[in-house]
Chains A and B, each alone.
Chain A
Amino acid sequence: MDESREAEIIREVLQGDARAFEALVRRYQGPVYALMLRSSGNADTAADLAQEAFTRAYARLETFSTGKRFFPWLYSLALNVSRDWMRRDGRDFHVFMDDASVMVRDEDRVDERQSVDDRLDGAKAFARVMGLAPKYREAMILRFRHDCSMQEVAKALGITISGAKMRVSRGLEMVRSHFKEVDDDQ
């Protein structure tokens, strides 16, 4: 689905055809659900949060600028839903904004004892990315998985473009350094 088709769908929804919104839900339910699963670690909670994200997007659709890609805008709303849930749940939502180094959940943390066995292996690299603080992790996912421009990464995360570049670069550096340490140990 290209941007012009998305813009048509959004116009249809705004003109009163709510059913047209389902095409957008189907298109983006995967990444939004995956985000919520990364945030909550629970399938049922993730489904609830993903539903809330789409409901919020529907309610605010009038504010979307159709000249831009829908996905970064949706992802920005979804991140807000995730933050709100973390705050309600007593977690520190500042993980998205401030020093992320302290906010890797225990269940997401890769066992340090595995490190000597890690090689240049995509699955392990991805596990390392999942172990990063959310602000780095989500920047890398937007950039590499969803092919977002740095401008779109910045928009989705609510930060500056230079901040988005820094997060992607820093995230890569942290994962990279792990593999280099492994090499040094060999």
Chain B
Amino acid sequence: MTNDTNGRAPGRSARDDALDRMIAEAVRNAPEASPPEGFSARVMAGLPPMRPSAWLRLRLWLTRPRSVTFTPARVLPVLAVAVVLLAVGLFLPQGMDGPGGSATPDGPTLSTVRFVLGDEAATARTVSVIGSFNDWKAVASAMRYDSDAGVWVLEAQLPPGDHEYMFLVDGRPVADPGARLTRDDGFGNTNAILIVNGRHEETL
């Protein structure tokens, strides 16, 4: 065996690489038996009707495809609160051949979610988004103030799933008044629920 250190793992030779390529090509191109004629019709004939539950219908409606969802700022006694959720798409390469510099090369597919908190009068000193995705730690998700737009902004990359969150304004918990579905946290506060499905995000 000829050892070649040109980017190969120890003990591997150019011959090994060539064989691996040949085997991979063989697997890719080998002929495969076709299913019997009319297979798909046979499958379809055996399926019962789909009867979506009320919860599923609600979830489908709320997560229906949209390019951008924008909620204008809402006025509160002190500040305006709004959440803008942008579906920015997928960014993680997949597979073992992905770039080594990727932060989480083998992790779940993440979506970028943008939180925006209106505060035109700049009355708040510190604002954070705290939620189930950052263990409710304000330090992990401090928002920055965009003085031109008069808003606090934070972009977070979240895995698919349901996430609960609220704002922390100068240490005070503030529920998102724009949330359509909320959950009492059992301590007198109200959490908004955000669904991330990998393509489109929506506040419930």
A binds B: yes
Q: Is B51 part of the contact surface with A, judged by Cβ < 8 Å?
A: yes
A176 touches B20 (CB 8 A): yes
Residue in A8, A50, A144 whose beta carbon sits within 8 Å of that of B28 in the complex: A144
- A residues 4-23 near B (Cβ < 8 Å) are 4, 7-8, 11, 13-19, 21-22
Which residue, of A31, A141, A144, A148, has the highest number of chain B Cβ atoms within 10 A? A144
Q: How large is the interface on A (under 10, 10 to 19, 20 to 34, 35 or more residues)?
A: 35 or more
B27 touches A150 (CB 8 A): no
Binds B, one of A59-67, A90-98, A108-116: A59-67
Number of B residues near A (Cβ < 8 Å) is 49
B64 touches A11 (CB 8 A): yes
Binds A, one of B52-60, B77-85, B133-141, B166-174: B52-60
A residues neighboring B (CB under 8 Å): 4, 7-8, 11, 13-19, 21-22, 25-26, 29-31, 33-34, 37, 43, 46-47, 50-51, 54-55, 58, 61-62, 65-68, 120, 122-123, 125-126, 128-129, 140-141, 143-145, 148-152, 161, 165, 172, 175-176, 179-180
B residues neighboring A (CB under 8 Å): 15-16, 19-20, 22-30, 32-36, 39-44, 46-52, 56-57, 60, 64-65, 90, 94-96, 98, 106, 109, 111, 160, 196-199
